[in-house]
Amino acid sequence: MNQFDADSMHRLAKLALDAGEVTTPEAALVLFQQYRVRIHLGAGWADTLAGQACFVTALSTASRAFLGGVEVDGDLTPLLRVPLFAGLPAAQVVQALGGTVVDIPTLQLPSLLIGDGGVSPSTTFAIRPTWDGWCAQIAPVGSSHHLTANDDNPLAGVCAGALAVSEAFSHVRGDSLEAGNRRIGLSLWNPLAIADWQSPECRGPRLAYLPNDLWLVGVGHLGQAYVWGLGMLPYPPDRRPRLVLQDVDRVTTSNLSTCLLVGADDLAMRKTRVVARRLEAIGFEIELVERRFGAHHHLQPGEPTVALFGVDNIAARRDLDTAAFALVVEAGLGSGYRDFRSLRMHTLPGPRPASELWPAQAASQGVAALNEAYQQLAHDSGDLCGVTMLATKAVATPFVGAFAASLVMAELMRPLHGGGIHTSVDVQLHSLPHRLGAPITPPSMRCAFIEST
């Protein structure tokens, strides 16, 4: 029996072990338990769905990255309106998502200010996420260049919340001298715009149409982030979307550090059923497919022909060529301690088939090279197999997944509003201005839709 259970390690704390900063999984957790953050809710934060989406995204992703705790203070009186948390008071949501409501905050903590107002001058790191239409931004609280919401798009709120947590994480890790001192953002309407991402043209049209009839392949880290994004959108209460959820895995301890819709009570349950329970409770129509996706996949009449792909498996990606989906949007995330904040998104069909994007030889997995920390761990434990399995697991965190989901969902929704799509988009979350991609105009396929409220 392996001494090291690869499915129990916290997937973000693992980066300290991979980087050789610590020598044991326990020491990695001790290190990450020193990381704390504060979320202050200022005036007007709940006036828009984007503001509410920013709050719950920042809170849920931060509670899985800052293991020392997430303090929340400020205006906790509003009831939420985003579908996934509709009717719940903010204070109850804080508790449900792993935060702690405080009357007297710890002023020295790195702070995220959502809404209007200021923070104590003694706070050394204080940023404000803002949004307008399809644009999301973070900037120092004292900046005069915050976005003012003229149009309400919850995807921009999800994006801004994820950006803010990523910036705070860079600060506590000390991996960027600029963290907390810069203004960065992007347009989900035109994600390749760099210098002019905040122009009126890049803020996009009013959100009017929402996706319906989707097939989600994989409901782990990325798949649940896609669902999270869908759960923020302004679907009418009496008309929620139909989703097919496909996965075979069960919830493990490590999933608690990466997946936005599972908790400790869900351990050992099938991921499809946990997610379905959350969505059916708010009126989504759910169908389950609990078999592996592969070359045998064939759509039946009446099934969704548009897919969101969230499986981190090259062999499965190659099988997208034969799956007969009319449109697929997929994302792949970096997996190492250096690149876990990088992502690449593809839209299919494109100029190259999936079998060329992911050659067969790329699917072969080499033997993991163990750094000194893992070698010592294997020597001390006598469990080379268990240590090697642990070393091969990806470094992952849901603030990257939520950010990726905002891009993927925008890719799906943009054509519904007259915009284009992209063959690919490459983004480094910790270095946001360095974005690459290739647009396709006009899009060849649009998904079914529901008019927004």
| Residue 30 within any structural domain of the chain | no
| Residue 126 within any structural domain of the chain | yes
Q: How many CB atoms lie within 10 A of CB 198?
A: 17
d(CA 293, CA 218): 9
Same domain, 116 and 223: no
DSSP codes of every residue in 334-350: --STTTTTEEEEEEES-
Q: Is the pLDDT of residue 4 over 80?
A: no
d(CA 13, CA 25): 8
- Work out whether strand 126-132 and strand 69-74 pair parallel, antiparallel, or are unpaired: unpaired
| Residue 18 within any structural domain of the chain | no
Domain boundary among 183, 203, 223: 203
pLDDT at 367: 55
* Per-residue pLDDT tens digits for 281-335: 999 999 999 999 988 888 889 999 999 999 988 999 999 999 989 999 999 999 9
CA 2 to mean position of chain CA atoms: 31
The pTM score is: 0.96
d(CA 138, CA 112): 10
H or E segment at 246? Answer: strand 242-246
d(CA 403, CA 420): 20
Same domain, 128 and 69: yes
Same domain, 137 and 168: yes
Q: In which region does residue 196 sit, left (phi positive, over 0), alpha (psi from -120 to 50) or beta (all else)?
A: alpha
Higher pLDDT, 71 or 381: 71
Nearest CA among 64, 144, 48 for reference residue 98: 64
Domain boundary among 168, 187, 203: 203
CATH for 114: 3.50.50
- The average pLDDT across 61-76 equals 98
Q: Rounded to 5 degrees, what are φ and ψ at 190?
A: -140, 80
Which residues carry out catalysis?
385
In which band, very low, low, confident or very high, does the pLDDT at 443 lie, cut at 50, 70 and 90? low
| Residue 29 within any structural domain of the chain | no
Same domain, 225 and 91: no
d(CA 453, CA 449): 13
Domain span at residue 188 reads 35-203
Q: Any bridge partners for residue 289, and if so which?
A: 246
| Residue 285 within any structural domain of the chain | yes
Same domain, 315 and 232: yes
In which band, very low, low, confident or very high, does the pLDDT at 368 lie, cut at 50, 70 and 90? low
Same domain, 84 and 168: yes
